[in-house]
Amino acid sequence: MNAPQAVGVDWPLEVHGALRGAGITIVSYVPDAGHKRLIELCHADPAMRCVPLTTEEEGLGLATGAWLGGERSVLLMQSSGVGNVINVLGTIKECRIPLPMIITMRGEYGEFNPWQIPMGQATPAVLEAMDVIVQPALEAKAVAPAVDAALRLAFNGYAAVAVLISQRVIGIKSFQEQAAQ
């Protein structure tokens, strides 16, 4: 159960398919070990422009500009980045910009790094305080359906929606395991 992508569900491949199905053409990200395969799949897709960011809030500016220009984007990040986007979420709300975010959790379940725990534990409350719709995915088979639903909510409702992929899914339990990714 500890290995990444356990129980035979290739959730990154399914999520990539959901992004394609929703017409996502711009994928921005701050890397996370849990997003490694999805990032690689998006980079390999000629229909997607991948934009590595230096900090997560850049992804909100990018999503706003992309939507003004008629394109759909998605933001991939780790839960620690949620603290970096709080103020700009106010602009997303005021302007009603569709903003799907796919967030891999740290500091949530079996965390090995104590410095990750405060932000990880606060992540849902921080997002909800800024009126972001939060949809947890607690197991691998639930990730792609949650992303698909989040994309519909975001673009049909002009809303910010976050899928929180549990550490149960990512399954990394030590620095050594993370480094071996």
Partner 1 sequence: MSATLHRREVVAELLAERGELLVVAGLGSTAWDCTAAGDDDLTFPLWGAMGQAAMMGLGLALAQPQRRVLVVTGDGEMLMGLSSLATIGVQRPANLSIVVIDNGRYGETGMQETHTAHGVDLAAIARAAGFADARTVRAAGELGALRAAIHAHPGPNFASVKVRVEKLPIILPPRDGGLLKARFRRALLGASADLQ
Q: Contact positions toward partner 1, by CB under 8 A?
A: 25-26, 49, 51-55, 57-71, 73, 87-88, 90-91, 94-97
Q: How far is the CB of 129 from partner 1 (least distance, A)?
A: 17
Q: What is the DSSP letter of 85?
A: S
Q: Which is nearer to partner 1, 8 or 69 (CB)?
A: 69
Q: Which is nearer to partner 1, 60 or 132 (CB)?
A: 60
> In whole angstroms, how far apart are CA 137 and each of 46, 49, 95, 161, 163?
28, 26, 28, 13, 7
> Phi then psi for 108, rounded to 5 degrees?
-115, -45
Q: How far is the CB of 67 from partner 1 (least distance, A)?
A: 8
Q: Decide if 109 contacts 166 (C-beta within 8 A).
A: yes
Beta-sheet strand order (sheet of 160-165):
49-52, 24-29, 72-78, 99-104, 160-165, 133-137
Q: Which is nearer to partner 1, 46 or 69 (CB)?
A: 69
Q: Which is nearer to partner 1, 7 or 95 (CB)?
A: 95
Q: How far is the CB of 20 from partner 1 (least distance, A)?
A: 18
